[in-house]
């Protein structure tokens, strides 16, 4: 019987056999963190629901993140699973079953943080927890790293196998050995991190002894035929670290060993900020910026190769396979923002895929509050609730005032629940503040999300009334049961002499033009996230940009990883960032400020852009509050924030009706 191919993506839709398992297509779900685990590091129902949801969208395999093989010396992030202990078996088995419900393979990521283990606990005072790595050193955070003894190395190798056996017993299908991103295996592989002079360090052969021994240990534990995936960073991007040429040699050695079924090529080192934003490509990098690493390695090995990083478009995935750059495409953040990506691609609905905009909101949640979240997918973190479907409700008449991301999500969710929804927007287009992103190249995915949400509202039968300003009278005349007020915020105009009457001063609406009407010399008042991104954009258009920020930090409202990416951009472009500098007066020449030393300094400007923040528009929302029997405010109308809050609050307000 001849195999049929998927008519949209024939290569991406083709199965691949790894070991004794056949994976149904070439899209694999890469590990990417998880909702918080139980205090004993077993999985909660929320964890399992997260993977269940991730697997439901059609990926061929889903990998469970951060399964630590030795909690005492290897715990990196706190959202980790203790795979060294058989107590994990009940919840881990249920997790495998949840993934298997969807004809999806269950993989487990074997993790040991090496010298980065216990860093956070130590920083918080647990000084008795020692940190061990291949070599003795003082870490960048000032803490002491002890050199692993021979016995410790042998113990770690044993634990990789031991944990794999537990996972196999739980019903998992594939071991994913994390040999990249700076965790312990890469620490041994890296000439920058491994300075040992014994048989475990020095030459490439000696630095590869640990990873090859780990592979052997895992293979012994799981037996022949059980698929093993090995992740390698295709280049470290670390001073003194290995480059692609050496990574090719490493991959060849793994290939020659013949025990691994898939070589997964990522990049960089987690714990070094500049490399982190390459490992997880920031929005300032092109999509698929690490594919070239996989492509080069693939030329030198016979083992199948996977690529990962900043890939969100099935057309690009198909092209990667067609051009022979990789055999498998792995998605991590993209399956967070839209777990249904594979299914939509394979069934001809690629235009309905929400694309990851690489804002790093997901990492922010994981690394701070340990709450997994996605700016554009309000269901993340609430999968258990959503797996039951929407609560039944009596159809009601609903008005949503304001067509920004909050209003659109509210209207869409309310319509999906069967309510009769009218969405009122005073502008001629839906999108709210996101319309500012239309021409900013690195924000295109975010803008496209707004366009997609508008289309979804239309398709869901929302009655969209554009060019219509909602007044209390209009709302009263509509006789609705509930109104959701999503009228957003207003820009703040700081009390600066001359600011209101100078022709030089402009608001962020200049960004709405493809060719922003600004002069050559632009001074931006306000170094928050919006001011900084605007500076990077205008710098890219060839403008001379100065950012004036009164506090000592820039973009404090950006997720930490995005902050790093912005910092990296600032270091590579020409933006003049002036911290601790307060704007005082607008003159014919430009902006007069007081610098950190109290000196007066004038920045000549053709245009002075106001990016001094936003404040919720209480005047509008208060006026509308009792114009319907029940109203609820969401998003920037409550507190100027970001899309994360607007879309989540819109979604849950609609679920309350």
Ligand X SMILES: Cc1cc2nc3c(=O)[nH]c(=O)nc-3n(C[C@H](O)[C@H](O)[C@H](O)COP(=O)(O)OP(=O)(O)OC[C@H]3O[C@@H](n4cnc5c(N)ncnc54)[C@H](O)[C@@H]3O)c2cc1C
Please say which residue, 84 or 422, places its beta carbon nearer to ligand X.
422
Q: How far is CA 511 from CA 112, 272, 531, 633, in A?
A: 46, 33, 12, 27
DSSP code per residue over 465-492: E-S----HHHHHHHT-SEEEE---EEE-
- Select the span of 210-218, 254-262, 263-271, 634-642 touching ligand X (CB under 6 A): 634-642
Task: Report the residue from 113, 399, 470, 657 that binds ligand X according to the rule CB under 6 A.
Answer: 470
Q: Which is nearer to ligand X, 321 or 548 (CB)?
A: 548
Q: In this chain, which of 119, 148, 424, 518 binds ligand X, going by CB under 6 A?
A: 424
Least distance to ligand X from the beta carbon of 547, Å?
A: 14
Q: Which of 161, 378, 488, 528 binds ligand X (CB under 6 A)?
A: 488
Q: Which is nearer to ligand X, 329 or 624 (CB)?
A: 624
User: Using the rule CB under 6 A, is 446 a contact of ligand X?
Assistant: yes
Tokens of 155: 């113990």
Instruction: Determine which residue in the list 52, 338, 433, 567 makes contact with ligand X, applying CB under 6 A.
Output: 433
Structure token digits, residue 331: 């998605």
The structure tokens 């790293």 sit at: 145
Residue closer to ligand X by CB (options 148, 400) is: 400
Distance separating alpha carbons of residues 454 and 500, to the nearest angstrom? 35
Minimal distance, residue 471 CB to ligand X, in Å: 7
> What separation in angstroms does the CA of 656 have from each of 387, 398, 404, 628?
17, 12, 20, 16
Name which of 469 and 497 has its Cβ closer to ligand X. Answer: 469
Report whether 280 contacts 364 (CB < 8 A): no
Return the number of the residue (260 or 356) whose C-beta is nearest ligand X: 356
Q: Applying CB under 6 A, does 404 fall inside the site for ligand X?
A: yes
Tokens of 632: 């609820």
425 contacts ligand X (rule: CB under 6 A): yes
How far apart are the C-alpha atoms of 298 and 326, rounded to whole Å?
7
Report CA dihedral (314, 318, 324, 329) to the nearest 10 degrees.
Answer: 40
Cα-to-chain-centroid distance, residue 161 = 30
End-to-end CA distance of the chain: 52
**The pair of three-digit structure tokens given for residue 630, joined into one six-digit string:** 């029940």
According to CB under 6 A, which one of 414, 646, 653, 654 is a site residue for ligand X?
A: 646
CA angle 621, 625, 628 (to 5 degrees): 130
Q: Which residues pair with 483 in a beta bridge?
A: 399, 631
**Region binding ligand X by CB under 6 A among candidate stretches 308-316, 319-327, 334-342, 423-431:** 423-431
Residues contacting ligand X: total by CB under 6 A: 36
Q: Is residue 508 near ligand X by the rule CB under 6 A? A: yes
Among 264, 447, 642, 651, binds ligand X (CB under 6 A): 642
Q: Could you say which residues in the range 599-628 bind ligand X, by CB under 6 A?
A: 620
- Residue burial 411-431, b: 16+ Cβ < 10 Å; e: rest: bbbbbebebbbbbbbeeeebb
Ranges within 354-393 binding ligand X (CB under 6 A): 359, 375
Q: Of the candidates 475, 643, 654, 657, which one interacts with ligand X according to CB under 6 A?
A: 643
Residue of the chain from 402, 516, 528, 590 that contacts ligand X (CB under 6 A): 402
Q: Which of 635, 648, 651, 653 binds ligand X (CB under 6 A)?
A: 635
**Interacting residues toward ligand X by CB under 6 A:** 359, 375, 401-407, 424-427, 432-434, 436, 446, 469-470, 486-489, 508, 511, 530, 620, 635-637, 641-644, 646
């Amino acid at each position: 019987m001849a195999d049929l191919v998927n008519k949209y993506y024939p290569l991406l839709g083709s199965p691949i056999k790894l070991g004794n398992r056949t994976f149904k297509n070439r899209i694999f779900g890469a590990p990417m963190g998880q909702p918080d685990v139980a205090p004993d590091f077993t999985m909660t129902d929320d964890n399992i629901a997260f993977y269940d949801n991730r697997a439901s969208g059609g990926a061929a395999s889903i990998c469970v993140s951060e399964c630590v093989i030795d909690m005492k010396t290897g715990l990196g992030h706190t959202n980790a699973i203790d795979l060294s202990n058989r107590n994990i078996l009940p919840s881990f088995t249920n997790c495998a079953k949840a993934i298997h419900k969807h004809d999806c393979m269950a993989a487990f990521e074997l993790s040991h943080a090496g010298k980065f283990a216990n860093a956070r606990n130590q920083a918080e005072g647990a000084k008795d927890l020692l940190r061990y790595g291949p070599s003795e050193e003082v870490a960048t955070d000032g803490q002491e790293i002890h050199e692993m003894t021979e016995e410790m190395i042998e113990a770690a190798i044993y634990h990789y196998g031991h944990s794999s056996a537990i996972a196999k017993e739980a019903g998992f299908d594939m071991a994913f050995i994390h040999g990249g991103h700076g965790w312990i295996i890469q620490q041994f592989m890296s000439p920058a991190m491994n300075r040992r002079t014994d048989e475990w360090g020095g030459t490439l052969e000696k630095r590869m002894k640990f990873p090859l021994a780990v592979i052997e240990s895992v293979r012994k534990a799981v037996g022949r035929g059980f698929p093993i995936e090995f992740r390698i960073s295709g280049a470290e991007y670390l001073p003194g670290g290995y480059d692609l040429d050496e990574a090719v040699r490493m991959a060849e050695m793994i290939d020659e060993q013949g025990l691994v079924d898939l070589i997964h090529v990522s990049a960089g080192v987690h714990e070094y900020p500049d490399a982190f934003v390459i490992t997880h490509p920031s929005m300032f990098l092109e999509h698929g910026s690490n594919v070239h690493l996989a492509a080069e390695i693939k030329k030198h090995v016979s083992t199948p190769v996977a690529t990962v990083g900043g890939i969100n478009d099935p057309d690009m995935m198909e092209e990667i396979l067609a051009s022979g750059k990789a055999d498998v495409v792995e998605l991590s953040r993209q399956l967070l923002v839209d777990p249904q990506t594979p299914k939509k691609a394979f069934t001809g609905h690629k235009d309905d895929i929400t694309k990851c905009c690489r804002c790093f909101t997901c990492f922010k949640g994981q690394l701070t509050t340990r709450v997994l979240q996605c700016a554009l997918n309000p269901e993340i973190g609430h999968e258990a609730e959503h797996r039951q479907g929407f609560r039944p409700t009596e159809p009601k008449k609903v008005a949503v005032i304001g067509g920004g991301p909050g209003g659109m999500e509210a209207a869409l969710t309310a319509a999906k629940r069967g309510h009769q929804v009218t969405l009122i927007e005073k502008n001629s287009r839906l999108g709210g503040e996101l319309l500012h992103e239309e021409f900013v190249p690195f924000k295109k995915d975010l803008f496209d999300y707004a366009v997609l949400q508008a289309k979804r509202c239309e398709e869901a039968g929302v009655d969209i009334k554009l060019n219509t300003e909602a007044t209390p009278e209009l709302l009263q005349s509509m006789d609705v049961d509930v109104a959701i007020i999503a009228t957003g915020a207003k820009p703040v105009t700081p009390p600066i002499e001359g600011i209101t009457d100078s022709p030089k001063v402009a608001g962020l609406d200049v960004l709405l033009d493809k060719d922003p009407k600004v002069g050559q010399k632009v001074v931006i008042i306000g170094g928050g996230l919006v001011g900084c991104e605007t500076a990077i954009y205008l710098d890219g258009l060839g403008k001379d940009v100065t950012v004036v920020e009164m506090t000592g930090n820039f973009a404090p409202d950006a997720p930490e990883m995005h902050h790093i990416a912005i910092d990296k951009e600032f270091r590579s472009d020409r933006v003049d960032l002036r911290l601790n500098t307060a704007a005082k007066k607008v003159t014919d020449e430009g902006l007069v400020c007081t610098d950190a030393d109290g000196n007066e300094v004038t920045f000549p400007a053709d245009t002075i852009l106001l990016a001094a923040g936003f404040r919720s528009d209480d005047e509008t929302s208060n006026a509308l509050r009792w114009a319907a029997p029940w109203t609820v405010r969401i998003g920037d109308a409550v507190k100027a924030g970001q899309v994360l809050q607007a879309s989540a609050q819109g979604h849950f307000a609609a679920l309350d009706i």
